[in-house]
């Protein structure tokens, strides 16, 4: 199910930055700074929910999420939309980075599009069985727009019937209101959600949200060769202790960007 717990150790490539993701406005420094564990947390949830052949990855230009998606033999094609061509080219060609992502970006099953994801999902007409939303944390308005009702409504339209999306949603421990604001915003556009959290070395507790057009069941199986998860530990990912449990929040929109305020206040408290 969630590779942040299974494989963070092998990805665990140093010290992560809380706002890093893929390239440019949508990605970051990837596995080289410990992002691998967080990326893998987003990568392997969706394919367990139903038969998946076409996968969309938004952000994640380092190829780490795609590396995990390609482990599912039923996946026929992956489309990566990442803003920064320098990022994707680096992780396509640099020998050390190619080794890190398992040469994922050069796979014949992968198409790389260097586009603005906010605009691309609005224009795309081809639905996907699974969507992985792997953006940086919403630390400013340009990133917050990728977590608004406007964006999530387009995401909803990009999802095939029976499909499922997974959204990287910051730390429910450090940024509790931020995490539940993302969940509330997904619900506001019609998604059914299933939040979960994992422990990622160099990041601590990190949160993700599964989203679908119909109610979701909790996954009961893990990936082959899982290093950290088993049938006993998997259910704990969906249980939130009191200090991470749901709190009321506003819905994040292009008009209010409530998520930016939550995020900055919560991480400022953590920094001090």
Catalytic residues: 134
Among 187, 126, 104, 124, which residue's Cα sits nearest to residue 152? 187
Q: Are 35 and 60 in contact (CB under 8 A)?
A: no
Q: Which two tokens stand for residue 123?
A: 């224009």
State whether residue 49 is helix, strand or coil: coil
For 167, residues 6+ apart whose C-beta sits below 8 A from its C-beta are: 42, 133, 147, 182, 186, 208, 209, 211
149 and 253 in contact (C-beta within 8 Å)? yes
CA pair distance 181, 169, nearest whole angstrom: 9
- Numbers of helices and strands, H then E, in the chain: 10, 9
Residues 67 and 102 sit within 8 Å (Cβ to Cβ)? yes
> Is the distance from CB of 199 to CB of 156 less than 8 angstroms?
no
Q: Are 9 and 31 in contact (CB under 8 A)?
A: no
54 pairs with which residues across the strands? 77
């Amino acid at each position: 199910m969630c590779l942040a717990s299974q494989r963070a150790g092998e990805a665990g490539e140093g010290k992560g930055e809380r706002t890093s993701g893929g390239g440019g406005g949508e990605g970051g420094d990837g596995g080289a700074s410990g992002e691998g564990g967080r990326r893998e947390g987003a990568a392997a949830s969706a394919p367990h929910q139903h038969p998946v052949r076409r996968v969309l990855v938004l952000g994640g230009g380092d190829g780490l999420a795609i590396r995990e998606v390609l482990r599912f033999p039923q996946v026929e094609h992956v489309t990566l939309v990442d803003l920064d061509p320098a990022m994707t080219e680096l992780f396509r060609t640099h020998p050390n980075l190619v080794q890190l992502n398992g040469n994922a970006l050069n796979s014949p099953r992968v198409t790389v599009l260097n586009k603005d994801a906010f605009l691309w999902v609005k224009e795309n007409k081809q639905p996907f069985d699974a969507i992985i939303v792997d953006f940086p944390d919403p630390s400013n308005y340009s990133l917050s727009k990728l977590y608004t009702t406007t964006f999530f409504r387009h995401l909803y339209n990009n999802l095939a019937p029976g499909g499922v999306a997974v959204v990287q949603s910051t730390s429910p421990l450090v940024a509790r209101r931020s995490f539940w604001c993302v969940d509330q915003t997904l619900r506001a556009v019609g998604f059914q959600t299933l939040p979960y959290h994992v422990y990622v070395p160099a990041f601590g507790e990190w949160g993700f949200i599964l989203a679908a057009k119909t109610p979701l069941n909790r996954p009961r199986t893990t990936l082959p060769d899982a290093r950290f998860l088993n049938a006993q530990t998997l259910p704990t990912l969906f249980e939130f202790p009191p200090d991470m449990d749901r709190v009321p929040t506003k819905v994040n929109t292009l008009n209010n960007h409530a998520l930016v305020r939550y995020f900055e206040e919560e991480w400022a408290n953590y920094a001090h």
